[in-house]
Amino acid sequence: MLKNDNSLYAAFKAKDARFDGRFFVGVSSTRIYCRPICKAKRAKIENCLFFPTAAEAEQNGYRPCLMCRPELAPGSSMTDAGTDLVYRAARMIEKNCGNRQSLNELAENLGCTDRHLRRVFAAEYNVSPVQYLQTCRLLLAKNLLTDTDLPVSKVAVAAGFGSLRRFNDLFRTQYDLSPTALRDQGMEPGKHNGNVTLALGYRPPYRWKEVLEFLDGRAIAGVEVVRDNEYMRTVRLLTAELKPVYGWVRVGHGREKHTLTVTVSESLLPVLPQVLARVRHMFDLYCDPDAVYEVLSKMNDIRPGLCVPGTRLPGSFNAFEMAVRAVLGQQVTVKAASILAARITAIYGKPVRTGIDGLTHVFPSPEDLLSLEGPIENHFGVLGVIATRSKTIHELAKAFVRREVNFDLNAQPEEEIKKLMAIKGIGSWTAQYIAMRAMEWPDAFLETDAGIKKALYPHTPMELLEMAEEWRPFRSYATINLWNAV
């Protein structure tokens, strides 16, 4: 429990969106917990307790507010976490809450013992990893019950519960009402239409237009479409049983509520937590824009308007797809790289039916490319990919399949960059770009990039590196600001 001081209450009183997701307010008179931005009648300070996570509020006997909906709060920013290990553990729990991953497996993936993980997690969040996981599942289920007309049985499975009975019992215990009773309070009766739309929160400001333009300029035909102020793409993911599932996802902007609206095909329900985690990464929803701007605002001393509050770091939905496209983009234009990626997709990607104009294939997996007979350059050469880049993509596919390079949340980007650069044909620019977008590394800087040099002309690359030292640990965000400037 956080210290009950006036500063937290002041943020709650002001409904300050900067603190949304950073703490939750438990009201002792009602036993309900809220986000700091809740519009309900404000409780007196003597009735308020402050918790760093929704999980701790629930473990102390508080139920989520039906008005401000804590399940929509942005996740913790890396600037909020006391330790990197706890931050990464929380993110992995959220991503894998549908997989029934054991604590031992989680700790092993993070390179520590389960005992150490429990200790540091309790010290940071005052709950155990298992309790945090339970809250993740309950809040995802609450989100599905409130915003969709999915049958309760499908809600239970999608949220990661092993049985409907277990889901109903835990929901009643924690929230003092049944899943159907919650739905009756907020849903209009209707027939299930086959798709699922949820909202994911972010901390404002958010430069949605610039993120969409960035993704549009790099979209792979057949796989991605940007249209009508929305981003759409095909999806291939593996279930906990390693069974591939195919579908599509559409992301729009709910500006007034500081959310992104995420619609997924029902075929992706078995991997819903994975989909939502990848959307959060791709659209940088964990970002604390004020912390970033506090460091990078000094860029405006070079030229006014060079750094704009709310700039996000566009990530990737599919790390292999993005890495291949980065290799294809070496020494050619952004448009040319997209054309080459689209040709590879059309020939070697898997066709999927989406019902959405322009979404026809999923990008080939590394296993798909490694299964090609004969030298890969014989396949890619006719598509316009030169032999050296074809071979680099082949080696990159091997690295993915053999897990020689780590792209997961437990990656140490500086170490993985060295591994990437050991692959013939991948230099510093490509490795840092991949780390920036696929590994969520906030501190990459591409001093030899043409756009960077143009934005900061006439400085040399060495001068740019020296200049960028002041922008740590957010040099990736500086890079995006500089690209936006040109």
pLDDT at 191: 46
Catalytic positions: 34, 449
Categorize the per-residue pLDDT at 392 as very low, low, confident or very high, splitting at 50, 70 and 90: very high
Helices marked H in 148-207 — which ranges?
152-158, 164-175, 179-186
Distance CA 269, CA 235 (A): 12
Domains 6-54+61-72 and 84-186 agree in fold:
no
Instruction: Show me where the domains of the chain are located.
Output: 6-54+61-72, 84-186
Token code pair at residue 102:
């054991």
DSSP secondary structure of 170-183? HHHHHHSS-HHHHH
User: If you search the block for the tokens 């792979």, which residue do you land on?
Assistant: 220
Structure confidence by residue, pLDDT tens digits, 449-479? 999 999 999 999 999 999 999 999 999 999 9
pLDDT at 193: 62
User: If you search the block for the tokens 């020296």, which residue do you land on?
Assistant: 466
Among 219, 214, 220, 242, CA closest to 349: 220
Handedness of CA 27, 30, 32, 36 (dihedral sign): negative
Token code pair at residue 380:
């890619």
Structure confidence by residue, pLDDT tens digits, 147-162? 999 999 999 999 999 8
In order of 96, 267, 287, 291, 328, the CA distances from 239 in angstroms are 10, 11, 28, 36, 30
Structure confidence by residue, pLDDT tens digits, 181-191? 998 875 544 44
DSSP secondary structure of 211-247? HHHHHHHTPPTBTEEEETTEEEEEEEEE-TT--EEEE
pLDDT at 192: 54
The superfamily CATH assigns to domain 6-54+61-72 is DNA Methylphosphotriester Repair Domain (3.40.10.10)
pLDDT at 76: 80
Categorize the per-residue pLDDT at 2 as very low, low, confident or very high, splitting at 50, 70 and 90: low
pLDDT at 190: 47
What DSSP state is assigned to residue 7?
H
Q: What average pLDDT does this structure show over 210-223?
A: 98
Report the share of the chain in percent with pLDDT over 70. Answer: 97
Structure confidence by residue, pLDDT tens digits, 36-90? 999 999 999 999 999 999 999 999 999 999 999 999 999 888 766 557 889 899 9
pLDDT at 5: 72
pLDDT at 408: 87
User: If you search the block for the tokens 């599942």, which residue do you land on?
Assistant: 137
pLDDT at 77: 81
Tell me phi and psi for residue 32, to 5 degrees. Answer: -115, 145
Distance CA 309, CA 205 (A): 7
pLDDT at 186: 59
Domain 84-186 sits in CATH at 1.10.10.60
Categorize the per-residue pLDDT at 410 as very low, low, confident or very high, splitting at 50, 70 and 90: confident
Structure confidence by residue, pLDDT tens digits, 220-268? 999 999 999 999 999 999 998 999 999 999 999 999 999 999 999 999 9
